Structure 1
């Protein structure tokens, strides 16, 4: 049994061992060194990471874990989640080849629905972990932990998933599952695991900054979204805590510890750009073993070559995806750009909102610009262009809202900017995809006024009459927003409002069908909303 962190000189030992625990997270479908959005090679992905992992395994004992959001995020994952559902899933094939020891479930696994994530789980040669995915009988839907052995040491791996999933996803995607508080769940399982293991690792699909998303989860009465750091502070017993979900990188430089009461923290970014590495050096004698040092760092894999196994895998799965993303669905008469879509109305944002209105009988539509780097040139519009414009697997909902709630929704959204020092500034605490724009009404956002009183001149587009604050309207929005994502509906007092419609098609399909229906798009904008700033 490991006795705790000590310098080797304090106790006589007969053997030193080095164990490497390797982490990936938020791969989001980046299996091959290829960017399916740009349709060109890229310097990232599991194909490169695998080469580096094999180098470690040739010399040392290793453990390999992932902290979630693996099976969503690129046209490749969409194709094998939704279109070809017969073939073995390439992401799981890749993970099996890499011999992962454990995988913690992320919110984007759940987003794919039970058919997809259970198909992937059944194909996996490794356990899917989530100790806080509880059912009514207090059991867990996913396995809570695993204990494995390396270097004659027992290693416990506890998986936790962000409990903020109800803020983004409809409960039909996780029937019967309740997502419990991470701190409470970690406390429960540390008591179970710590007496059984020599090394305890937390693999969490959750970031380390508890303030990120805190306002929104509080509005909805949910536990903390990014609670990995809180677990590290409040739940003693972990040697290492690996995070995910937030896509940031930690540590920025190599971190070394000989403090047994302070778990080292690591999160290896996203999209397979980095490999997270934890090194644990243990000493042992005839009676016991003990950790004498632990270190964590990140390794850039940009210059690493693709592994041979992944070259073979790519030959099986790659071409079908290329054929899919290169399919033509319409024509663009003009150059269309999203660069200024969060500052003024644009043809691309108008396209999304008009597609939502066309597909439903809604009066008003809300949508956000997800990517300010979209450029569609004159000529054929292809499926890959829709992915650049709309990268998420959202569905389309229609929610009943009063005029006052619509105004309050837009007031909340307007917090993305503020006026200071003679400039329109971006609120760094708010993601750009939480700045919504409307169609079906015209309005202004006046940043000379205080927050909560900025939205004015709201007129219905079809009649030019004023929005009736007491009347109910049918409002189209994506499933993320309708489930409370971003906090807009809770802030507007509309979280419990009636959902009038849920689409069976995902938003990308709705956009593609709309473009095929109208045949072409062009750079014509109705400029139904504008930002007012001091002159």
Structure 2
């Protein structure tokens, strides 16, 4: 008999096939509406009774539509948003880290209005040490088989979210929880599945480390040390991944609903009812070949209409544009838009130095007439701004770490090293710093590349404490930078970046600094 598993993850609120850059374009090869059509086609092909459908989170944040929905009363916005996900008919779901971005009340409303069981094993209530919401597991019957489903989320959420978004919660290692739960569930089920909003800290095949083993991603450890799991359905890293290794089917379906991961298990039952898996096949099915589901289009239509009107709202007028013509080139050579972010962060914080990253590979910066659409397309994350007190030595270590992202190719051209491009682009981790003047010789060893680091014409002093303006994701450990820790955060601002851009641009006659203050050679 065949059991088919279909898995989505990291749709990030892209419910319709548009990224909202072009108001008229609804032909993008993404979206929950395309996912829905694909799932319905697969159910028709195999029979609903033989198909299990799951999702591993990051649904509430990421798209302009998701940001607009958050502005509305819950019963007007989030209710319709959640109804679109309910239309898929998921059998089980897990939460993602970005599902916490809008706070616990928002998240709990979403959970309470979700038709599918939310499986949560490692986000615990601090007062009980039991799952704070959802249920620890579910057992679903499909294809005359009992399928146990466990669910975990990256434990690193408390490193990224402000305290009020995680109050009363404890995030523990998903590996440690699954290790115990898998042993308990295995005798009760025919097939054991793990949903994980997290990825792989090492290559699933070679075991070679692909990032520092901080605990953010525990996929390789789970894969190699919990043999009870038959299918490992992952997310978080936005990777396209499908393979079978360690007698486990592993999938991860990319980002924004670009694909649905499919696992097909060929299963046999002997006369005693004992189940054995004879074959495992995995694939990623691109959703671009499926028309958007009219049922989801109908649910989302009011939100989409409101989003388009909201995005066209003018925020401010600049005396000159602040472009970034190419995100990668802008990071290396500098761009007016980068300086504008830095200027804004210094205006709010009155800090000595600012650090920022380019958060979108399609960022184009601002025209003279800045709209909400431009803000969200350039800075799609719901981050907050922090003031961090760091020593000059810490600052040097932080900038040296950023310089380690780069190398020269055989022709002498500066480029980002593969680690930050593959297996998925992570250049939102590359920070630039302002108004410090710094230069780095890329021929020197990593960690010893800075040949100049000054502020207002003076050398940065190793023992002096400087105030640094940076987003909370970085200040709380995102990106594996040295020098940051929670105890160094002096203040976190209440506004997110959309709100800050609106305030800064409307309250100031902004003159964009077009000077270049850093150089790599």
Q: 1:208 to 1:514 in 2, by over 3 A?
A: same
Q: Give the alignment partner of residue 233 of structure 2, picking from 235, 239, 242.
A: 242
Q: Give the alignment partner of residue 324 of structure 2, picking from 337, 353, 356.
A: 337
| 1:4 matched residue in structure 2 | none
Q: Give the alignment partner of residue 437 of structure 2, picking from 427, 439, 442.
A: 442
Distance in 2 between the 1:528 and 1:445 partners?
A: 12
Q: Secondary structure at the match of 1:208?
A: coil
| 1:3 matched residue in structure 2 | none
Q: Secondary structure at the match of 1:131?
A: coil
Show CA shifts across 1:21-47 (max 9, x none).
Answer: 211011111111121244332221111
| 2:171 matched residue in structure 1 | 179
Distance in 1 between the 2:30 and 2:363 partners?
A: 21
| 2:287 matched residue in structure 1 | 301
| 2:423 matched residue in structure 1 | none
- Quote how far apart the aligned CAs of 1:284 are: 4.6
Distance in 1 between the 2:113 and 2:59 partners?
A: 14
Distance in 1 between the 2:270 and 2:407 partners?
A: 63
- Quote how far apart the aligned CAs of 1:389 are: 1.6
- Unmatched 5+ residue regions in structure 2? 421-425
Q: 1:91 to 1:102 in 2, by over 3 A?
A: farther
The aligned runs of 1:253-292 (5 Å cut-off) are: 262-284=247-269, 287-288=272-273, 290=275, 291-292=277-278
Q: Does structure 2 conserve the Cα–Cα contact (< 8 Å) formed by 1:337 and 1:373?
A: no
Matched, 1:486 2:471: no
Q: Secondary structure at the match of 1:514?
A: helix
Matched, 1:68 2:54: no
Distance in 2 between the 1:140 and 1:436 partners?
A: 36
Between the two proteins, the alignment pairs up a number of residues equal to 500
Q: Give the alignment partner of residue 38 of structure 2, picking from 52, 58, 67.
A: 52
Q: 1:295 to 1:215 in 2, by over 3 A?
A: closer
Distance in 1 between the 2:251 and 2:152 partners?
A: 15
- Quote how far apart the aligned CAs of 1:468 are: 2.5
The aligned runs of 1:411-430 (5 Å cut-off) are: 411-419=400-408, 421=410, 422-430=412-420
TM-score by length of 2: 0.89
Higher CA-based Rg: 1
Q: Secondary structure at the match of 1:404?
A: helix
Distance in 1 between the 2:449 and 2:74 partners?
A: 48
- Quote how far apart the aligned CAs of 1:183 are: 2.5
The aligned runs of 1:453-472 (5 Å cut-off) are: 453-461=448-456, 464-472=457-465
| 1:159 matched residue in structure 2 | 151
Distance in 1 between the 2:262 and 2:427 partners?
A: 31
The aligned runs of 1:489-528 (5 Å cut-off) are: 491-492=482-483, 494-518=484-508, 524-528=513-517
- Quote how far apart the aligned CAs of 1:150 are: 2.0
Comparing 431-440 and 290-299, the one that deviates more: 290-299
The aligned runs of 1:207-218 (5 Å cut-off) are: 207-210=199-202, 218=213
Distance in 1 between the 2:283 and 2:408 partners?
A: 40
Q: Secondary structure at the match of 1:148?
A: strand
Comparing 370-379 and 139-148, the one that deviates more: 370-379
Distance in 2 between the 1:214 and 1:498 partners?
A: 29
Q: Does structure 1 conserve the Cα–Cα contact (< 8 Å) formed by 2:337 and 2:365?
A: no
Q: Give the alignment partner of residue 127 of structure 1, picking from 101, 109, 117.
A: 117
- Unmatched 5+ residue regions in structure 1? 1-16
Show CA shifts across 1:259-300 (max 9, x none).
Answer: xx7111111111111111122334457642634433221111
- Quote how far apart the aligned CAs of 1:138 are: 2.7
